[in-house]
Structure formats: structure tokens, C-alpha cells
Amino acid sequence: MKKPSARTKSLIAKGRKYYTAAYKPREMILDRGKGALAWDLDGNDYVDLGAGIAVSALGHHRREMLDALMGQAKKLWHTSNIYFTAPPVLLAEELVKSSKFARRVFLTNSGGEANEAAIKLARKYAADKGRPAQQRNIVTFTGSFHGRTLATVTATAQPKYQAGFEPLPPGFRYCPFNDFAAASRMIDSTVCAVLIEPVQGEGGITPAKPGFLKHLQELCHKHDALLMLDEVQCGMGRCGALFAYFAERGVKPDVVTLAKALGGGIPIGAMLVGEKAENVFQYGSHGSTFGGNPLACAVARVVLQKLQTKTLQKNIRERGTQLASALAAINNRHGVFSEIRGRGLMIGAELSDPHKGKASDIVETARSHGVLVLQAGPNVLRFLPPLTITEKEMKEGVKRLEQAIQTHIGPPSLRA
């Protein structure tokens, strides 16, 4: 790869100086993209198997999205929710019809805000029923991730994200993920909602076991609690269907939260609400100055339409199979993974014992070989490529990944 230019070094130095230290960006300046490929400022090309953490679902520089953005930009950028504009109204209608359960939509700017809205909705739902504060608990699951606001980071049942931000808001309970018996014990009349990712993202790309969502739904019905599905990362086609919960027959959630892929790169989030709680939010209950921005909604409408095409859903299934098979083949040759799991184009490869704790090192080595991958915790390589990635692009990306793994673990003669 070309060495960083003076301009690249200068921009990186400014980023280090002027950003807070909350992030640790790679030593590169991404400059442009097309499809599943990206180029940095120095002209190095990369196969993008991360899609901006599942955001660029239709790839980079999608013509239809650009046309929608520019068309709306020439008309109206912002009004706030004091007024109606066409793009958010039409997007809300399309989300309701495509979800098969929702009756109303609250539009936000991010997944964290969508989950924050869901938490408030659940508490208000219980309050409207006359339940005291001590009976408004929300159950979440170990390994979950729901956002970075104070409430959503508390809902996130991973202490590493919460450390230093105490005192945390009360009213959350943490249940072992995929534990049927534990869920039965913990979900009772003092619980107003259950919040769960059908496939955990930051927790290591771990799907809910067959029947687990249905089990939670039955418990929620029994105790008049809301079943709330966080599909910020796993939804919007990522797992092979428009919504991840479609994979389990008979599941009808009360709330689904979305973001990431919904905007295809433009910031937007949404909370979809079913019949049970559709009237909980009334005038003044909640709000968002930028939520439902017409620019973002114009683009999201295009994304939503494309995600529902049979051609794209077929590509997700085929490329997901291709990626999982390629990772299995790499593992047969190098023994670097203990498990490969996931659905569709949401795949995690957990590192085997000799390589545990080294996911970040492999991610960096992969970058130097021209492929962008992610991690989920210290032990899992995470793959979230654009849903439009082609067979050829996937093949090249996996080829570069294997070269990076070979560089990282060394030749067979030197391996422990």
C-alpha cells in the first residue's frame, strides 16, 4: 500500500488534536467509495466488509439515494415537527405497512435515540396503567448493546460500557441471553417491558435461539409487558429479511427500533409501535427537533424500497452463504476460529484459544491488506458488508482477509 502522504498525516494529527479521545480512528483518511469499495486519500483501495457498522446497506455512492437527497435538498431542508412535510409522512406509512405489526412511528436521528424513546414509551405505558414506579422495570440481556445515552447504556447489559457513568438510572434487570428458565423467573408483574436484539451485535453476533423470542412474547402477554425488539443493527435486511424477527413464526412485537441501514448513510432512526401502545405518546410526551428530517426521510424511503426487493434479498442470502463458507475454508487451513455464526450478512467469527484477545490486531492487519472488517469485543471478527456486495467483491475481500490472517499468525512452521 502507498505510504501516508503529508496531507494524510496532517489531517490525522488534527483529528488527534481536536477530537475528544472517545474514538480511536485507524491511521487513514477515507475519501470516497463506490459499491463495496472505498479509497483513502492516498489512493489505496479497500473492500469494505463493515459498511460503517451495518449502515451503508446499499453500498457507497448509490445513485438513487443521491438523486433523492439532491431532489429534496433543492426544496426544503428542515421544518421541525411543528409542521408536516411529505417525506417523513410517507416514510412512516411505508414502515407501518412493511413491518406487519406497527400502527404508528416516532422518527429519531439515531438508534440510541430510538431505544431511548422505547424505554420512555414502556415506562409511560405502565404509568398509564396505574402501575407504581417499582413496577416499571425493563428486562434486557447479557451481551446486549442498546446505545450510549445514560438510559440506553444502562439498558446495555455490559459493565464495560457503564463504568464511570454511575449513578445509573434504576429500573433495569439483566437476564442471561437465550436462557428460557431465567427469563421465566425474571419477567413478572413488576416488569413493564423486555428489550432484546434478535441477533446481538456488539455482544458477538449471537442470534436468539429458536423459540426464545416466542417465549418472551408469551411472558410479556402474561404480565402485560411490552416486547421491544432492538433491530438497529440486525434489521433492515441484514439477516436476510426486512426485519430480523420475521425469522421466527408467530412473533408479533409491540415495539421495534431501527436506525443504521434505514438511512443508508444518512443519520436517521425510528421507533415502530404496535396496537398495544400506539396511543401512549400524546402531545408533549416526547419530541425531537431533527427527528423526521425531510432530507433523511427522502433517502430512507429509497433505501426501504430497495431493501424489500427479491433481488436484493436473494443476494443477501447468497453472499451470506459465500462469506460463511469462505470463512470456514480459511479456518480449515489456519485453525484461527472456534465458531462462525450469524444470519444473512451479519456474521461473527470467534477466535480460537491461541488467538483470543487479538481481534483488534487482526482488524488492523486486515486494513493494511486492503480489507475493512470490524470486531465485536476482543475475540470476535465481525462482518457486516453492504447488502449489495457482489460475488466478485466478496471473493476479493475474503482473499485479502486470508492474506492478513497469514501475516498475523505467521507461517505454519512458526505457529505454536
Per-residue pLDDT tens over the stretch 253-307? 999 999 999 999 999 999 999 999 999 999 999 999 999 999 999 999 999 999 9
Q: Which residue has the cell 484461527?
A: 336
Spatial distance between the Cα atoms of 112 and 317, rounded to a whole number of angstroms: 28
Confidence of residue 414 (pLDDT cuts 50, 70, 90): very low
Confidence of residue 411 (pLDDT cuts 50, 70, 90): low
Secondary structure tally for the chain: helices H, strands E: 13, 17
What's the residue count for the chain?
Answer: 416
Mean pLDDT of 87-101: 97
One-letter amino acid of 350: E
Write out pLDDT tens, residues 136-173: 999 999 999 999 999 999 999 999 999 999 999 999 99
Cis peptide before 167 (omega within 30 of 0): yes
Write out pLDDT tens, residues 200-219: 999 999 999 999 999 999 99
**3-class SS of residue 234:** coil
pLDDT at 355 exceeding the cut of 60: yes
What cell numbers appear for 13 in the block?
A: 494529527
Enumerate residues 6+ apart whose C-beta is below 8 A from 80: 289, 290
Terminal CA-CA length for the chain: 29
pLDDT of res. 412: 56
pLDDT of res. 100: 92
pLDDT at 413 exceeding the cut of 50: no
**Please, what is the Cα angle at 123 between 118 and 126, to 5 degrees?**
125
One-letter amino acid of 306: K
CA distances from 278 to 51, 124, 206, 340 (A): 33, 12, 30, 39
User: What CA dihedral angle connects 117, 120, 125 and 130, to 10 degrees?
Assistant: -170
241 DSSP assignment:
S
pLDDT of res. 409: 82
User: What CA dihedral angle connects 149, 153, 159 and 161, to 10 degrees?
Assistant: -50
CA distances from 6 to 43, 101, 125 (A): 14, 54, 57
Spatial distance between the Cα atoms of 79 and 259, rounded to a whole number of angstroms: 21
What cell numbers appear for 89 in the block?
A: 409522512
pLDDT of res. 354: 86
Write out pLDDT tens, residues 320-353: 999 999 999 999 999 999 999 999 999 999 999 9
Confidence of residue 21 (pLDDT cuts 50, 70, 90): very high
**3-class SS of residue 207:** strand
Contact assessment for residue 299 and residue 65, using Cβ atoms and an 8 Å cutoff? yes
CA distances from 173 to 53, 132, 187, 328 (A): 27, 17, 9, 37
* Domains contained in the chain, CATH given: 6-61+310-411 (3.90.1150.10), 76-307 (3.40.640.10)
Mean pLDDT of the chain: 96
413 DSSP assignment:
G
pLDDT at 135 exceeding the cut of 90: yes
